[in-house]
Chains A and B, each alone.
Chain A
Amino acid sequence: MRRLLRGVLVLLVCAVAVGARAEDLLMARSHAQFEESMAALQQAIGAQGYTLSRVQRVDIGLTASGFTTDKYRVVFFGKPAEIRALSADHPDLIPYLPLQIAIFAEGDETLLIAANPVHLTAAYTDPELGAVFARWEQDLRAILDAVRQAE
């Protein structure tokens, strides 16, 4: 039984390890136009327990440069207490705070992009942060899925 248990454990570890190689960027395509997708994104951020802190325009001057769309924003959000605690304990993480998702129009559809926070694990080795990054990844995926599925 002991042996079996160990065997099972090894198998489990393998199964988890295979799934562990992370994608660097999390992306989603929404069929909705930009405005609807943006509304769905803000709603999904709230539903996931985060507070929207700011919407930054990235497209100032884009149309003048020949882009036929000018709809490009970066949405910033976080959990207030968590951002405060992290910035206090890990000031070197501040350049990556708060969380962000880019959202831009592509024709009649909308693309959303987020960096996978797990890519930071190698640079910020505190195991506590590793757990935070992993949770953020799950939350970002849930937010992107919600926007993808919103009609």
Chain B
Amino acid sequence: MNRLPRCFCFLFMLVVVGHAYAAAPDGARLYAQHCAVCHGDSGTGGVGVPLALPGFQASVDDAYLHETIRRGRPGRVMPAFTRLSAAEIDAIVGHLRGWRKNTVAPTFATTRIRGDVHKGAALFAQHCASCHGDQGQGGHGTGVTFSRPRDLPIIAPALNNPGFLAAASDSQIKATLMRGREGTPMVSFLKQGLSEQDIDALVAYVRSFAATAASAQPATAIDDEPAMLMMESPYTLEETVEAVKRAAVGKNFRLIRDQILEDGLFPAGQQNTRQVMVYFCNFKFLYDALALDPRVGLFLPCRVTVVEREGKVLVMSINPKRLSHLFNNAALDRACDEMYKLYEEILEEATL
């Protein structure tokens, strides 16, 4: 009994020390761990937008950076870093600022800017929608990834995003519109001939997205979706595999190969041959999905697995509807719904 509490005290101390250690967080290390994968080691961009450009750093304040990290961009790839402490987030902000020591970080007032929303809507359709989308939903794809085809060197961020709207003050949005962000496709609209009043109208219009921004969240929670699709086949394993192939080809997929689950894990002869995976692909679909999010290749090409268990033959696949949740990318929703229907049809046809 005496030993037990001591053990707990020790553990407790570990926890306390852990927290004390967290009180002096290392921004560079945290950035490398959480951000570099998308924004690049030195902030040059990748899956995420560039963060080191002077034109960007001069147009955002620390509060905006802090809130952006905390809230992420729901449905637009960037996750919310809810597990980082305020001190850790500040350390990351300090690290970002360290790239541009000569750029003075601005501070923006949080007061609302008044403007004519209707006029703003018209101006938005005329000057902004081509890049930011007609509803401010952002450009296709995300960030900047030079190895992939993009319409712009940097994809325009979503403006109707709850994370963006909560992080950006009116005066910061106004400053971005007045001055633009040098080195990015976002130009100064003052120089483009708009008046300050026009810009106030645009700010008011962008702010009005807040009313609908909540709908940018996926309608269902990830756990509402079953993890997989499964049907029972009235045929033998071999017949079912052939039926899956026919069904896939009938849906314009190209067969890539089939293999047994234990291939490569056990030597031939010792493998369980009653678990067969059929791979197939539609290149247009693959290309479109990768353009939306280069990470989805993780679940491609498509695969249906046929398994014989105690005399029963089962046909199954993953549930693609879970994927847009995993990737935090609302743009994938449609592609995933489509993939879900195709899987369902293939499973149905193969077991008809």
Q: Which residue numbers of A lie inside 8 Å of B, CB to CB?
A: 1, 4-5, 8-9, 11-12, 15, 18-19, 21, 23-25, 27-29, 31, 51-54, 56, 58, 60-62, 65-69, 72, 74, 76, 78, 80, 83-84, 87, 91-92, 94-98, 100-102, 104-107, 111, 113-115, 119-120, 122-124
- Cα A108 to Cα B228 in complex, Å, equals 36
Which residues of B sit under 8 angstroms from A119, Cβ to Cβ? Answer: 222, 322, 326
Is B339 in the interface zone, CB < 8 Å from A?
no
- Cα A53 to Cα B264 in complex, Å, equals 4
**CB < 8 Å: which of B5, B36, B275 contacts A94?**
B275
B258-278 vs A, Cβ < 8 Å mask (1 yes, 0 no):
010111111000001001000
Which residues of B sit under 8 angstroms from A29, Cβ to Cβ? Answer: 36-37, 40-41, 46
**CB < 8 Å: which of B12, B37, B286 contacts A28?**
B37
Whether A113 touches B305, Cβ cut-off 8 Å, given contacts A53-B263, A105-B147, A123-B227, is no
**CB < 8 Å: which of A61, A76, A87, A102 contacts B295?**
A102
**CB < 8 Å: which of A4, A92, A106, A120 contacts B145?**
A106
Which residues of B sit under 8 angstroms from A98, Cβ to Cβ? Answer: 261, 265
- Cα A74 to Cα B262 in complex, Å, equals 17
Stretch from B99-107, B193-201, B237-245, B313-321 forming part of the interface with A: B313-321
Whether A91 touches B307, Cβ cut-off 8 Å, given contacts A21-B83, A67-B290, is yes
**CB < 8 Å: which of B5, B227, B297 contacts A96?**
B227
- Cα A21 to Cα B36 in complex, Å, equals 21
Which residues of B sit under 8 angstroms from A68, Cβ to Cβ? Answer: 146-149
- Cβ A104 vs Cβ B272 within 8 A: no
B132-157 vs A, Cβ < 8 Å mask (1 yes, 0 no):
00000000000001111100000000
Whether A102 touches B297, Cβ cut-off 8 Å, given contacts A23-B79, A51-B265, A94-B261, is yes
Is B130 in the interface zone, CB < 8 Å from A?
no
Whether A58 touches B261, Cβ cut-off 8 Å, given contacts A24-B328, A106-B46, is no
- Cβ B281 vs Cβ A60 within 8 A: yes
Whether A54 touches B259, Cβ cut-off 8 Å, given contacts A92-B230, A92-B316, A123-B227, is yes
Task: Determine how close the nearest CB of chain B comes to the CB of A3; give it in whole angstroms.
Answer: 11
- Cα A50 to Cα B18 in complex, Å, equals 32
Is B25 in the interface zone, CB < 8 Å from A?
no
- Cβ A80 vs Cβ B226 within 8 A: no
- Cα A78 to Cα B264 in complex, Å, equals 10
Residues from 277 to 310 in B contacting A, C-beta threshold 8 Å: 279, 281, 283, 286-287, 290, 294-295, 297-298, 300-301, 303, 305, 307, 309
Which residues of B sit under 8 angstroms from A113, Cβ to Cβ? Answer: 295, 298
**CB < 8 Å: which of A25, A74, A124 contacts B326?**
A25
- Cβ B327 vs Cβ A106 within 8 A: no
Which residues of A sit under 8 angstroms from B40, Cβ to Cβ? Answer: 29
- Cβ A83 vs Cβ B295 within 8 A: no
Task: Determine how close the nearest CB of chain A comes to the CB of B277; give it in whole angstroms.
Answer: 9
- Cβ B262 vs Cβ A80 within 8 A: yes
- Cβ B37 vs Cβ A111 within 8 A: yes
Q: Which residue numbers of B lie inside 8 Å of A, CB to CB?
A: 4-5, 8-9, 11-12, 15, 18, 36-38, 40-41, 46-47, 79, 82-83, 145-149, 222-223, 226-228, 230, 256, 259, 261-266, 272, 275, 279, 281, 283, 286-287, 290, 294-295, 297-298, 300-301, 303, 305, 307, 309, 314, 316-318, 322, 325-328
Which residues of B sit under 8 angstroms from A53, Cβ to Cβ? Answer: 263-265
Q: Which residue of A lies closest to B318 (CB)?
A: A95
- Cβ B262 vs Cβ A84 within 8 A: yes
- Cβ A80 vs Cβ B266 within 8 A: yes
- Cβ A72 vs Cβ B297 within 8 A: yes
- Cβ B148 vs Cβ A19 within 8 A: no
Q: Which residue of A lies closest to B221 (CB)?
A: A122
Whether A91 touches B147, Cβ cut-off 8 Å, given contacts A12-B12, A56-B279, A80-B265, is no
- Cβ B15 vs Cβ A11 within 8 A: yes
Q: Which residue of B lies closest to A100 (CB)?
A: B298
**CB < 8 Å: which of B37, B261, B297, B328 contacts A104?**
B297
